[in-house]
Structure 1
Amino acid sequence: MKNKSKGRIKLIIAATLISCILIIISLYVKFYPLKYYDLVKKYAKQYNLEPLRVMAVIKAESNFNREAKSNKNAYGLMQITESTAKWAKDEMQIDYKGASDLNNEEYNIKMGCWYLSYLKKEFGDWDLIIASYNGGPGNVKKWLDNDSYSKSGNKLDNIPFLETDKYVKKVNTNYKIYKLLYKE
């Protein structure tokens, strides 16, 4: 009789643990969706990027709100400023009519992926890419040249802009969660 009770208790505990794990996973999936993933895959492939890294950037930038607008006048899913868009459209040889284009999810993801690819060619290292996406490539170059921020000149030991430092950590955390949930 005691063995049957112990067996039932173990079964109840196991079922409870499995239920809790499934609830936690479903919450993560809800908060880390694959929204716009077909577009992300398309342009990540075109620009030689890992799709889940792009998803991590979108999550950090706009939390998938295609109409997001920052206090720095960055627009859309990947939060692209008009000045970046005006420069990028010439480099990409595409039309740009104004900020309303940046609220179009396909246009925004294409331009955002292109820009990440551009930064990838410039810096190579993911932390430097996302630091420059947020803080600007000119600042990242200055930090790499400064012993206070980079001992090696090719990695950042610390980031002087608190916002950029938090951003790099946030994108990297998002990426780890995406990778855990959606192994490619």
Structure 2
Amino acid sequence: MKSISRIVVFMLIIMAVLNAKNIVRYYFPLKYSGYIVKYSKEYNLDPHFVMAVIKTESNFKADIRSNKNAIGLMQITPDTAKWAAEKMNIRDFREDMLNDPEFNIKMGCWYLNNLKTEFNGNMKLVLAAYNGGRGNVQKWLKDSQHSADGENLQYIPFKETDKYIKKVEVSYKVYEYLYGEASLDASLVNL
């Protein structure tokens, strides 16, 4: 009887190890992947990166509003949204449009791409600007206490922004690991 229970326990452990990836996938879902893939491609971004940003910003909760008044999946503030809508030639922009997952992802991807262009593809700077503000990042790059070369940050004075970058980087690695090099195509779409 003891040997049977040991075998059962051993088999349960093997099954748990084999299922570990599926368990982690529960916490790192592919929600809204159709929109993410669509707008990542349109705005030249890695879909895993966009998913990591959304995971960090809102944990895929579309109807969330932060204490800083950031709205939706990608936590876009109304002021940033108004500015982005103008640059994107979106007429009749209304703040409530940020509650729509597709619109929020589209605008968030556009904004990430805009920052990517400004910061020459340096995704750490993109994340710092997305969280801490592009003006602050430009200021930090000019300050020798924060940047030795004016192109990279050695020190980020906002602890929240520093933690944010690290969280997105970890989530990005998890998404790459879980969903691999495989293209996020229609078979993974979960709107």
**Taking structure 1 as the reference length, what is the TM-score of the superposition?**
0.90
Q: Aligned with 1:76: secondary structure? A: coil
Structure 2 gap segments, 5+ residues each: 182-191
Hey, what does 1:100 align to over in structure 2? Answer: 96
Which residue of 44, 58, 78 corresponds with 1:48? Answer: 44
Q: Aligned with 1:151: secondary structure? A: coil
Cα deviation digits, residues 44-75 of structure 1 (max 9, x gap): 00000000000000000000000010011000
Hey, what does 1:81 align to over in structure 2? Answer: 77
C-alpha distance in 2 between matches for 1:141 and 1:109: 25
Matches within 5 A, 1:136-155: 136-155=133-152
Provide the aligned C-alpha RMSD in A.
1.9
The answer to whether the 8 A contact 1:62-1:79 is kept is yes
Structure 1 gap segments, 5+ residues each: 1-7
Structure 1 vs Structure 2: percent identity of aligned residues?
51
Amino acid at match of 2:112: L
The answer to whether the 8 A contact 2:85-2:93 is kept is no
1:27 aligns with 2:23: yes
The answer to whether the 8 A contact 2:128-2:137 is kept is yes
How many Å apart are 1:13 and its aligned residue? 8.4
Amino acid at match of 1:148: Q
Which residue of 160, 165, 174 corresponds with 1:168? Answer: 165
User: Greater Rg, structure 1 or structure 2?
Assistant: 1
Tell me which of the two structures has the higher relative contact order, counting C-alpha pairs closer than 8 angstroms and 6 or more residues apart.
Answer: 2
C-alpha distance in 1 between matches for 2:55 and 2:170: 10
Q: Aligned with 2:164: secondary structure? A: helix
Which residue of 55, 66, 82 corresponds with 1:59? Answer: 55
Across the two proteins, how many residue pairs are aligned to each other? Answer: 177
